[in-house]
Structure formats: C-alpha cells, structure tokens
Amino acid sequence: MPRKLISLFATAILIAVCLTRSFASQAKEDAVVVGRVLDADTGQVIPCTVTIFAADKSIVTESPAFEDGFRSSGQFEKAVPPGETTITISRGFDYVASQSKTELKPGERRSLFFTCAGRQTFHAWAGTAATAMST
C-alpha cells in the first residue's frame, strides 16, 4: 500500500510540473507579425528595410551582418516577443519612413499594412537642380 501511495504522489507531482512548464512556456510564446509594404503612389508591393523593435528591447534580424533589421521584398512574417512593439519601414532617402507602434499578445498573429510615400520635396529639388545645371 505505501508503494502505491508513493507512486500516486510521484505521478501527481510529475503532472503538476508538466502543467507548470506548459503554462510558463505559453506565457512566453511569441506573437507573429505579418507585414505588407505598399508604394503610396502606385499601390504596388515594394522592397524596403524593416526594423522591428521588440518589447524586450531587441531588434529582429535575419543576419548578424545587418543588425538594424532586415531587408524585405515588401512582404514579411516574423516571430516577435509579446508586448509593445515598434515597426519602422524605410526605403532609401527618396521615401519618407513609416512607423507603427502596436501591442502584441502571446500567440497572436497580427497583419499590418504600411505605405511608403515618396518625398515630393526631393523630386522638386532634383528637377530644379537639373534645370539649373543644364543652362
């Protein structure tokens, strides 16, 4: 009888430990951000640089060679720690960067759309400079 009781007690402890680890890992489960970046003028998907500042103060990267984020074809999907997350989209000096803050929950899958607009002042300045140089 004591062996049976010890075995039952050990099984109960094992189940409790497994459940605790399961809940702990679920609490730390990443969220997933699915992004799509469009050109404001054409509505077409455009390549860009994406910087995701996660709630744990890390930056989501794909390669140690590029620590400021990652390059994207204009569509991306990344696992991100839950919490307040800031996403910055940039595309060269002739586009205005776009930034969004969002609160992500553990296990959440969030779809976000971004638009990048060209800098009108840049185009006007470049045209003026080209005209001035050709005369």
Residues 95-130 pLDDT 10s: 999 999 999 999 999 999 999 998 874 555 554 444
Its pTM stands at 0.68
We report the CATH number of the domain holding residue 42 as: 2.60.40.1120
Give the C-alpha separation, 111 to 50, whole Å.
Answer: 15
pLDDT at position 119: 82
**Residue 120 confidence (pLDDT):** 73
- Helical (H) or strand (E) element with 34: strand 31-39
**Residue 101 token pair:** 């803050």
Tell me whether residue 9 is in a domain: no
- What count of residues does the chain have? 135
Domain with 86, as residue range(s), is 30-126
Q: How many domains does the chain have?
A: 1
pLDDT tens digits, one per residue of 43-98: 999 999 999 999 999 999 998 889 999 999 999 999 999 999 999 999 988 899 99
